[in-house]
Structure 1
Amino acid sequence: MLENPAHLDTGLSHFLMIGSGVFWTITYLLILRRGYLDKTYGMPMAALCANLAWEFIFAFVHPHPLPQLYIDYLWFLFDVGILVQYLRYGSKEFPAHLPKGLFYPTFSFSLVFAALLIAAISHEFDEYIGIYAAFGQNLMMSVLFVRMYLKRYSVQGQSIYIALAKLVGTVFPSVLFYLYFPDSYLLILLYLGILIFDAVYVGLLYRHQVKEGISPWRRL
């Protein structure tokens, strides 16, 4: 349980929250853009389910304080857009050895399970801000982005700007909660894990595009 956060200047905390909100919003917008252009989805299914569940819970069930609450509303709206892309294009990448009829039930089960898991984490740790769940699923997302690239072995639905925006968007809350809870070794480990996998993802996308003769900086 996270108790007795260190005192932090309100202006600094709001700056870090808004910085996170801005860069994650850019991440979502770029994912939507590339998904539209490449006719695919740009967020792995398990990560999408976790995001949708987290944003719904902490926007409507256990609402965050401002300004984070407004950011949650915005993120939820964008994730619904990414959901539409996943439901439209995701069946093409569903495992060929499984019946296609399992595509929607698999997604539905994953979404419900993610919501129950996040609610259980909050109850177990008596922590209704969603910090543990947020950084835990962020690490999962970082790993899954790397896996998505390796599975596709292409930059379809992806760009270096998405990877960089996610990395920077996570640095802001990592700094914020480190300042609040500098003695939480679990959170520190999560911050470092996310940063490492995000940096790996940036490097993989950059290397692949250079190898293919694509300018990483021109592919928005």
Structure 2
Amino acid sequence: MDLFLTGLSGLAWTIVYAESIRIGFRYRTYAVPAAALGLNFAWEWIYAIHDLASGHSGLQGYINLVWALADVAVLYTFLRFGRRELPPFLNRTLFALWAVALVGAGFAVQFLFIGAFGLGPGTGAAQYSAFLQNLLMSGLFIAMFAARRGPRGQSLLIAVAKWLGTLAPTLLFGALGHSPFVLGIGLLCSVFDLAYIGLLLWARLRPGTFGPDARSTLPAR
């Protein structure tokens, strides 16, 4: 069961990243909320390197490496197209500084968790940080829907895969691993993820609500 849930999570999140890359290039935008992207980028590179360097990574270490490499492409879509989602006064220099700050803050947060809980086997840093930033991402996807006034640059496949990719480790570490914290945060993620899925289904059923350009690209600037 552990291997199945680990593999399911790995596959589902890989689908999230692959679809985010596709959406990003097709619609010339970014499909993962910026703050969550910075945290994920840092988490996956830190734990991919640590797990593989330790020699005891197992399947999860290789999954982390796949995610980390995919995150490079997702981050590129944000750097390439992200400024056009923002107000005109945010020039290229300010946008670049903001992007550096997001990624830098992501690494700082991960190292703070490691400093508090440790990096070795059985410590909570990886799980606690992963589930808390996952909950943040769940809320930010809903905020993205609201900010973009509809489903532009978003995907039902991303939403469903994100939900399943979070539910699997919730069952693994929360239910089977007897962690009330992980179980509680994971269930909250499911609540937000299902709400986001509901929003995208509503948008699909009533596309006229959001106008003809709901999925169009923004003008370059």
- Superposition pairs of residues 79-98 of structure 1, within 5 angstroms: 79-98=71-90
Q: CA deviation at 1:122?
A: 2.1
| Separation in structure 2 between the aligned mates of residue 179 and residue 93 of structure 1, nearest angstrom | 39
Q: Which residue of 1 aligns with 2:219?
A: none
Which amino acid in the other structure matches residue 138 of structure 1? N
Percent of aligned pairs sharing the same letter = 36
Residue 7 of structure 1 corresponds to which residue in structure 2?
none
Match of 1:17 in 2: 6
Partner of residue 28 from structure 2, selected from 3, 27, 39: 39
The answer to whether the 8 Å contact 1:40/1:156 transfers is no
1:145 counterpart letter in structure 2: F
Cα offset, 1:148, TM superposition: 0.6
2:137 — aligned with what? 141
Q: Scaled by the length of structure 2, what TM-score is found? A: 0.86
Q: Is the 8 A contact 1:31 1:42 kept in 2?
A: yes
Shift of 1:128: 6.1
Q: In 2, Cα distance between the equivalents of 1:86 and 1:150?
A: 19
Name structure 2 gaps, 5 residues minimum.
Answer: 210-214, 216-221
Take 2:115 and 2:166, find their aligned partners in 1: how far apart are those partners? 24
Q: Is residue 94–residue 100 contact of structure 1 (8 Å, CA) maintained in 2?
A: no
Instruction: Give the Cα separation in 2 of the matches to 1:84 and 1:51.
Output: 14
Alignment equivalent of 1:162, drawn from 146, 158, 164: 158
Would you say how many aligned residue pairs link Structure 1 and Structure 2? Answer: 203
2:203 is aligned with 1:208: yes
Gaps of 5+ in 1: 1-11
Return the offset for 1:123.
Answer: 2.0
Which stretch shifts more, 138-147 or 34-43? Answer: 34-43
CA RMSD across the alignment: 1.9
TM-score (norm 1): 0.86
For residue 53 of structure 1, the aligned residue among 9, 18, 42 is 42
Match of 1:8 in 2: none
